[in-house]
DNA sequence: TAGATTGTTAATCGATTAACAATC
DNA sequence: TAGATTGTTAATCGATTAACAATC
């Protein structure tokens, strides 16, 4: 039974849970039916204590005899992490990066689907890219309402990102994955996850000169 | 004068420094010649105390009268962050995502250039994409040595990533930006920065349902 | 049983923020 | 000067890890 919540969970913990899920799926494909915290720790690059603490939050109890049942744990993780019925995602900005993201997410995780694309370029309107139709920006609000979309990916140029994000929030979006290299200023209840490609590459460049920072596990 | 180093700097600090640099460049474009920690704090989404502490590590002193000189601070940041002569980067995997990354980084930051692409698909060998030639995987080691490359971007499918990463390290690469959704197991002195697109989207989806986690500033 | 693993709390570690004397 | 800002240390905060009784 999943924990009745109450305690809020950190961003890092949720990240690690999604990683565990992936590793558990791999294990299941390889025919492994049960796993110890120690094994999941090695594969994920975290400590065994952290794995146990993380798994506590999803409310699934392992056994001291066989560790964790892979199937049962996957079920608990899905109950904890996924929206029942699946998550419907909008993608704003169908440039080079946007199209690559379309391709990347298509079919990768069922239950996490990009169902609508938007671009200001009329040339792209009506086109279907990787099974997803591209709409004009004017249709943003109505389309997001009609399709019951809660999550959006912003892949527009930096100067346009803040305006687009504000429109998304007014349309009812609650979470944004932002690829534009600008800090978005939005209400506190909106969750924003920034992927700043240039910043990441600059960090790698810096530490490639100034010694590795043996950070463990996930980003 | 830049600090003679000694104290190692956290990954987060370096990330914020690159963000400050971007904001300072914007300010300079807008004609702003000096800035207070408070202003940089607002724009970056961090606290003023943190901005001051961060800027201390680059060894540039502001003045109590006018705050920080934008030009001089940019110079100090460049001295601190950049490799003299610029950073030469290799990109492994020229699929949808790889090509988008080529386009994204081309001309965005001079001094941070993708100078060689690699792919196992013979169809792509010899092609020039966004000004960068695509080589066969066999040439990886020789090409990286010849081009004096220290940093690589891995955009190959998950199952191939560990093998590719090990070859890169043997060839002399010291830092890797990894887009493959697998934890890389490499020597501790190699810096690995993971960008896990699915994990990031799953985190956004989770927190879009379970309340915003008003995280400040950068990722 | 003996040995290993679990859930869970206490101790540790590191990063952020608050505070303040020195400065302009 | 008075007010605001700086560099820098101390206090706070949160996350990770170590430890251990209970369990199989």
pLDDT at residue number A215: 44
Strand-by-strand arrangement of the B151-154 sheet: B128-129, B132-136, B112-119, B87-92, B151-154, B175-178, B191-194
Q: Does B81 touch chain A (CB under 8 A)?
A: yes
Inform me whether the pLDDT recorded for A219 exceeds 50.
no
Chain pair A-B, CB pairs under 8 angstroms:
213
| Token pair of A184 as six digits | 């978005």
SS3 content of chain A, % helix, strand, coil (to 5): 45, 20, 35
pLDDT above 50 (res A133): yes
> Residue B60: exposed, middle, or buried by beta-carbon count in 10 A (0-12, 13-18, 19+)?
buried
Residue A51's alpha-carbon distances to A5, A191, B98, B196, B213, in angstroms, are 19, 25, 33, 19, 22
pLDDT digits (tens, 9 = 90+) for B72-117: 999 999 999 999 999 999 999 999 999 999 999 998 888 999 999 9
**Three-class SS state of A31:** coil
* Higher per-residue pLDDT: B175 or A109: B175
Query: CA angle at residue B31 from B30 to B36, to 5 degrees?
Result: 95
Q: Over pLDDT 90: what percentage of chain A?
A: 88
Residue B2 confidence (pLDDT): 33
Q: Do B185 and A45 touch (CB under 8 A)?
A: yes
Going by pLDDT thresholds of 50, 70 and 90, the confidence category of residue A8 is confident
**In this structure, are residues B130 and A97 in contact, taking their beta carbons and an 8 Å threshold?**
no
What average pLDDT does range A68-84 have in this prediction? 96
pTM: 0.93
From B173, B217, B152, select the one nearest A192 (Cα to Cα). Answer: B217
How many angstroms is C1' of D17 away from CA of A208?
A: 28
Q: What does the pLDDT read at residue B212?
A: 56
Q: Is A145 helix (H, G, I), strand (E, B) or coil?
A: helix
Mean of per-residue pLDDT scores for chain A: 92
CA of B192 to C1' of D20 (A): 35
pLDDT at position A7: 59
The answer to whether B198 and A105 are in contact (CB under 8 A) is yes
The pLDDT assigned to A107 comes to 87
Q: How far is CA B196 from CA A65, A161, B74, in A?
A: 34, 22, 31
Is B38 near strand D, with its CB below 7 A from some atom of it? Answer: yes
Which tokens is B211 given? 């309340």
**Cα B104 to Cα B113: distance, rounded to the nearest angstrom:** 11
Are residues A152 and A168 in contact, defined by beta-carbon separation less than 8 angstroms?
yes
* pLDDT for position A142: 97
**B109 and A CB contact within 8 Å:** yes
Per-residue pLDDT at A217 exceeds 50: no
pLDDT bucket at A4, cuts 50 / 70 / 90:
very low
Low pLDDT (below 50) residues in chain B:
1-6, 214-219
What are the strands, taking DSSP E only, across A73-218?
Answer: 87-92, 112-119, 128-129, 132-136, 151-154, 175-178, 191-194
Instruction: Kindly report the three-state secondary structure assignment for every residue of chain B.
Output: CCCCCCCCCCHHHHHHHHHHHHHHHHHHHCCCCEECHHHHHHHHCCCHHHHHHHHHHCCCCCECCCEEEHHHHHHHHHHHHCCCCCEEEEEECCCHHHHHHHHHHCCCCCCEEEEEEEECCHHHCCCEECCEEEEEHHHHHHHHHHCCCCEEEECCCHHHHHHHHHHHHHHCCCEEEECCCCCCCCCCCCEEEECCHHHHHHHHHHHHHCCCCCCCCCC
CB contact under 8 A, A14 and B202: yes
Q: How many CB atoms lie within 10 A of CB A142?
A: 11
Mean pLDDT of A14-21: 97
Q: Taking the alpha carbons of B172, B175, B179, B182 in that order, is the dihedral positive or negative?
A: positive
Contacts of B8 in chain A (CB under 8 A): 210-211, 213
**Is the pLDDT confidence value at A6 over 80?**
no
Tokens of A180: 């534009």
The minimal CB distance from B215 to the residues A11, A151, A206 is found for A11
What's residue A212's pLDDT? 56
Is A64 (CB) below 7 Å from strand D? yes
In A134-193, the residues whose Cβ lies within 8 Å of chain B are: 150-151, 153, 173-177, 181, 183, 185, 187-193
- Give the chain B residue whose CA is nearest to the CA of A150: B208
């Amino acid at each position: 039974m999943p924990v009745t919540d109450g305690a809020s969970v950190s961003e890092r913990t949720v990240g690690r849970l999604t990683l565990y899920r992936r590793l558990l799926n791999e294990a299941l494909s390889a025919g492994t039916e049960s796993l110890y915290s120690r094994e999941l720790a090695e594969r994920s690059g975290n400590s065994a204590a952290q794995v146990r603490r993380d798994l506590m939050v999803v409310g699934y109890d392992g056994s001291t005899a066989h560790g964790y049942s892979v199937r049962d744990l996957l079920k608990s993780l899905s109950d904890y992490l996924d929206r029942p019925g699946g998550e419907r995602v909008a993608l704003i900005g169908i440039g080079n990066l946007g199209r690559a993201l379309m391709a990347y997410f298509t079919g990768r995780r069922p239950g996490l689907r990009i169902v609508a694309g938007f671009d200001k370029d009329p040339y792209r309107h009506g086109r279907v890219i990787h099974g997803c139709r591209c709409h004009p920006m004017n249709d943003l609000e109505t389309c997001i309402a009609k399709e019951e979309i809660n999550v959006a990916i912003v892949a527009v140029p930096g100067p346009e990102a803040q305006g687009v994000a504000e429109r998304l929030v007014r349309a009812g979006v609650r979470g944004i994955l932002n690829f534009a290299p600008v800090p978005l200023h939005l209400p506190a209840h909106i969750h924003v996850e920034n992927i700043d490609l240039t910043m990441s590459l600059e960090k790698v460049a810096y530490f490639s000169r100034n010694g590795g920072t043996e950070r463990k596990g996930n980003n």
